[in-house]
Amino acid sequence: MTKTVTAQAGGRATPAISAQEIDLHYGPARVLREVSFDIDPGQVVGLVGESGSGKSTLAKAIVGVERISAGTLTVLGEPAGAARGQSGYALRRRVQLIPQDPFSSLNPRRTIGQTIAEAIDPRRSSLAGHRDEIVALLERMQLSADSIDRLPHQFSGGQRQRIAIARALAVGPELIIADEITSALDVSVQAEILALLDELLADSGITMLFISHNLAVVSQLCTDVMIMRSGELVEHGAVAEVFVRPAHPYTRRLLDSIPGSPGFSLERA
Ligand SMILES: Nc1ncnc2c1ncn2[C@@H]1O[C@H](COP(=O)(O)OP(=O)(O)OP(=O)(O)O)[C@@H](O)[C@H]1O
Ligand SMILES: [Mg+2]
């Protein structure tokens, strides 16, 4: 994989995401607890953990939607919160979040073309001049050219998810946070989308944090994996290492509970 790296003084690449002992509270509830990790540019990293462990909260902190209460969180070399303000416009484009439920994030009254044009140029949000580019993007996601003039409700769930990916790619992001983007889909549609993603990511230099419940999916797409439990990161390493020799009992339990996920085998990892 080609890596787009920015050199630091010491010769080491600036991490795409660097978290040092971050905490995040919702009121009195401490939802992230001293979370520390670095993700290098070009890495595709899975984030796995049970429901409520804080995965989406971490995603929101990274894109600047939620504010951390302690620690340091740097995204593409900038403090995470910098994406929020007026001056965060450029950073917001470099980091794209693909949400779990694209239906709620696609405007029901705007065509797919209008929605993607708006992502490309929020000040004009006009299709003029972007039509060819958008059709090419849709076709890359295996959607027909006439999708451009249709409304979100005229697509299946899997197609809408591909539209959400196309919209994220439209701005040429350096970092994509994908939050459970295939969880709601059936296994065959999930496999199609994963294959597309795999192809898109190869040699792109794009860094991805891929949040999923599904260890099989993570082993297929990701080079590295982080395991989260009750707001703490309990394990982080290469997929092959973590899945074959899990260091933490919680990871071992997650792996033991897999028989329900078809196609998973440690051989893959
Ligand atoms: N806006 C909020 N206000 C208060 N508590 C919240 C808020 N959002 C999430 N929480 C709580 O924070 C914890 C972590 O939630 P989060 O959505 O990050 O979990 P998750 O790992 O993404 O779970 P899932 O796998 O179900 O998506 C949960 O206990 C949740 O109830
Ligand atoms: Mg979540």
Q: What is the pLDDT of residue 261?
A: 40
Q: What is the pLDDT of residue 88?
A: 63
Asked whether residue 192 is assigned to any structural domain, the reply reads yes
Residue 211: give its domain's CATH number: 3.40.50.300
Q: How confident is the model at residue 57 (pLDDT cuts 50, 70, 90)?
A: very high
Percentage of the chain surpassing pLDDT 70? 88
Asked whether residue 256 is assigned to any structural domain, the reply reads yes
**Model-level pTM?**
0.89
The minimum-distance atom of ligand 1 relative to the CA of 27 is 4
Ligand 1: which of 31, 68, 181, 229 to mutate, judged by most atoms within 8 Å of the beta carbon? 31
Q: How confident is the model at residue 254 (pLDDT cuts 50, 70, 90)?
A: confident
Residues with CB under 6 A from ligand 1: 26, 31, 49, 51-57
Q: Quick one: three-class SS letters along 183-230?
A: CCCCHHHHHHHHHHHHHHHCCCCCEEEEECCCHHHHHHHCCEEEEEEC
Range of the domain at 49: 17-260
Task: Answer yes or no: is pLDDT of 214 > 70.
Answer: yes
Q: Which of 39-48, 85-94, 99-108, 257-266 has the lowest mean pLDDT?
A: 257-266
Task: Answer yes or no: is pLDDT of 267 > 90.
Answer: no
- Matching residue, tokens 């090419």: 136
Q: Two tokens at 198?
A: 């795999």
Q: How confident is the model at residue 87 (pLDDT cuts 50, 70, 90)?
A: low
* Pairing assessment for the beta strands 224-229 and 232-238 based on DSSP bridges: antiparallel
Task: Answer yes or no: is pLDDT of 121 > 80.
Answer: yes
Asked whether residue 9 is assigned to any structural domain, the reply reads no
Q: What is the pLDDT of residue 75?
A: 94
Asked whether residue 266 is assigned to any structural domain, the reply reads no
Q: How confident is the model at residue 85 (pLDDT cuts 50, 70, 90)?
A: low
- Rounded to the nearest whole angstrom, what is the distance from the C-alpha of residue 160 to the centroid of ligand 2? 19
Which one has a higher pLDDT value, 183 or 125? 183
Asked whether residue 3 is assigned to any structural domain, the reply reads no
Q: Two tokens at 30?
A: 């401490």
Q: Which of 70, 51, 16, 4 is nearest to 203 (CA)?
A: 4
Asked whether residue 267 is assigned to any structural domain, the reply reads no
The CA distance from 217 to 230, in Å, is 22
Work out how many domains the chain is built from and give that number. 1
Which residues are CB-contacts of 218 (< 8 A; sequence separation ≥ 6)? 46, 48, 210, 212, 225, 239
Answer whether 8's CB lies under 8 Å from 14's CB.
yes
- Rounded to the nearest whole angstrom, what is the distance from the C-alpha of residue 56 to the centroid of ligand 1? 7
Asked whether residue 174 is assigned to any structural domain, the reply reads yes
Q: Which of 32-41, 90-99, 161-170, 250-259 has the lowest mean pLDDT?
A: 250-259
The CA distance from 246 to 15, in Å, is 25
